[in-house]
Structure 1
Amino acid sequence: MLYGSLVIAYLFLGGTAAGALFVISAWSLLFRRAQRPSRLQTAFEALRRRVYIAGVVLLVFAMVCLLWDLGNPGRALLVFLRPHPTVITFGAYTLAIETLVATLLSLVSLSQGPLSLHGRARGTVEILCCVGALATMAYTGVFLFQGGIPFWNHWSIIALFVLSSLSSGVSVVLLIDWVTQGQSLLLRATKPLQLCHIACLIAETVFLAIFSFAAFGNPSANASVNLLMEPNMLAIALVGVMGAGIVAPLALETYSATHKECRTIPVSDFVCLFGGLCLRYCLIACGAH
């Protein structure tokens, strides 16, 4: 296969990390606009710190996968030392810049000294993080769109990857909050985030349908479509992509958002992440056969 497991890992880790960083940065910008109880502020600061650190770790692993896939360390360095206007160069720089911004925010969240940022300065860095995260999520789709493979040759794949990455990012934030803080005040404050997740999953379903109609209607993509319809791959698509990636988290997130309990969060978000990985596997395996 032209695109192997390293590319699948890069697309999943890079998109998920960017989604989580976008969610926590946007939430932080909105969180400061209103007066909050001190306990809630303390809980949110702890969550923000953990998500930034997790985002940096995931981005570093994504960069390693991308550069390792190039096969030659010298070639990887040339991407930065002698840049050319290519999609690979854009992606490498986008990942690097987003990693640096997220690292800065991680250090700021850990520091009470000279590195601490407040007010507009912190808000400006968080806005930069949001912009960089959007560029990174979009690039994971552009990476395939520009590959010259008929199965991927439709603009909807970019929107699909952005929404899938954003959905995975929400899941990472909710899971980190659940694992590290349990049934805390902050969990009850995640209802708006769960509603955003529901909207994101619905939009992802729409663009997955648009992409599927485009692929099935493209005669040049018949080989990829035939591979997708084989029993094993079709099972992954239906159970993994549709079931775990959209239907199950949509149902569980809706139940949790409309009730006072949060017990569905770990199940909903674990299966959502698994579904995001299945989506990338199916698209890569069927496109680059």
Structure 2
Amino acid sequence: MFSELVVAYLFLGGTGAGACAIMAVAGLLVDGEQLRLCAASRFLDERGQAYGRFFGAGLAAGVAALALGIVCLTADVGRPDRLVLLVVSEPTNYLVLGAWSLAACFGLGVLGVLAWRGVLSVRSVALRGLSALLAAVSFVTMAYTGLLLSSMASMPLWHNLWLPVMFVLSSLSCGIALVLATTLLGRSAPAFARVLRALVRIDGLIIAAEVLVLAAWLVAVCAAAGAGSADGAPTPTDAAALAAVRLLLEGPGALAFWVGLVGVGLVVPLAINAIASFVLKPSRSASMALPRQVAFLVSALGVLIGGACLRATVVSAALVPAAVGLL
């Protein structure tokens, strides 16, 4: 039902959409007069080139992640025409809506890269409109996979409203991590140091929210399973839900959950971001700037590992009870 390719798509699609959403919102926050001047010069002046490198690289990374996710999904389906059929169908369910949003996110992301890099000549008003549209479709792309999974009543581990929230938060955090890594490894980090520090602090808040939502999700699944049937006896669905939670916390995938997701993906980045953002003071010294950049890169890598482990463990823990006949 959900192969490794689909799990890879869930991660890459969410990460790519998260990066596009972050860059789109950042584009909406650029000073209007500066954006007008930069767009008029097709981002060829000094300030325009800095904006072009920052937004172009961040959006390109998001679009690349989306493209890889589409490749994984196409390879799993085996027939590309089936994906095309979803795109041209009416949005009657989450799957079709997701195909629409994914195609729109990819297309608008490509246009954004071309616009910010000066390949396309656009006015500042058009660029802001493009950013607003990209932000909207990126959010839909981040949310639809969680909504699709939560709509499956036969999978009690997924059939919960906390799951889409967790997927959106994880996608945003992974998107920020991808933007941070791309910027720090590129040439625009010094010019956008304040923006990067703000992103790190925002990511810290998102990670803290992820911890709370993760706990609320597991508690809600167990509480729903503990309710039992009308006569108080546990139903097969209750048994499957509790078995899925046990597999998640104690089964073969527990190492990926506790170490990969909780440790590497949540605790370590949260600690690094807090220390680097609030303890270490910003400095113009290269000797001090380098440790901060390395810390942010390590944090970004941890977030991406955690995002991948989240999708893998949530999918595997829900499918195993169904496969052994607990449903």
TM-score relative to the length of structure 2: 0.81
Question: Quick one: which amino acid aligns to residue 242 of structure 2?
Answer: N
Equivalence for 1:111: 118
Of residues 122, 138, 143, the one that matches 2:143 is 138
Query: Which of structure 1's runs of 4+ aligned residues deviate more than 6 A?
Result: none
Contact 1:40 1:186 (8 Å CA) reproduced: no
Which structure 2 residues correspond to residues 82-161 of structure 1 after superposition, within 5 A?
Answer: 82-83=89-90, 85-112=92-119, 115-148=120-153, 149-161=155-167
Larger RCO of the pair (alpha carbons < 8 Å, separation 6+):
1
Among the aligned pairs, what percent are the same residue? 31
| 1:19 match | 18
Residue of structure 2 in register with 1:278 after alignment: 309
SS at match of 1:181: coil
Q: Tell me what 2:192 maps to.
A: 186
What corresponds to 1:267 in structure 2? Answer: 298
Structure 1 match to 2:233:
none
Paired residue type of 1:89: V
**Secondary structure in 1 matching 2:253:** helix
2:294 is aligned with 1:287: no
C-alpha contact (below 8 Å) 2:62/2:178 kept by paired residues: no
Structure 2 unmatched ranges of 5 or more: 36-44, 226-237, 283-288, 321-327
Q: Match of 2:160, SS?
A: coil
Q: Which runs of 5+ in 1 are unaligned?
A: none
2:324 corresponds to: none
> Residues 151 and 64 from structure 1, CA distance in 2 versus in 1: closer, same or farther, beyond 3 angstroms?
same
Distance 2:252 2:149 in 1: 23
C-alpha distance after superposition, 1:201-254 (max 9, x if no partner)? 111111111111112223220221222233532221111111111111111011
How many aligned positions are there? 286
The residue type equivalent to 1:110 in the other structure is R
Aligned-residue offset at 1:83: 4.0
Q: What is the letter of the counterpart of residue 239 of structure 1?
A: V
CA-based RMSD: 2.2
Q: Return the alpha-carbon distance in structure 2 between the equivalents of residues 97 and 19 of structure 1.
A: 14
Q: CA deviation at 1:11?
A: 0.8
**Normalized against structure 1, the TM-score is what?**
0.91
Residues 94 and 72 (structure 1), Cα distance of their counterparts in 2 relative to 1, 3 Å cut? same
The CA distance in 2 between the partners of 1:82 and 1:145, in whole Å, is: 22
TM-aligned CA deviation for residue 283 of structure 1:
0.3
Q: Which amino acid aligns with 1:53?
A: A
Return the index of the structure with the highest Cα Rg: 2
Residues 200/7 of structure 1: CA separation in 2 closer, same or farther (3 Å cut): same
Alignment of 1:155-234 (within 5 A): 155-181=161-187, 184-219=190-225, 220=238, 221-234=241-254
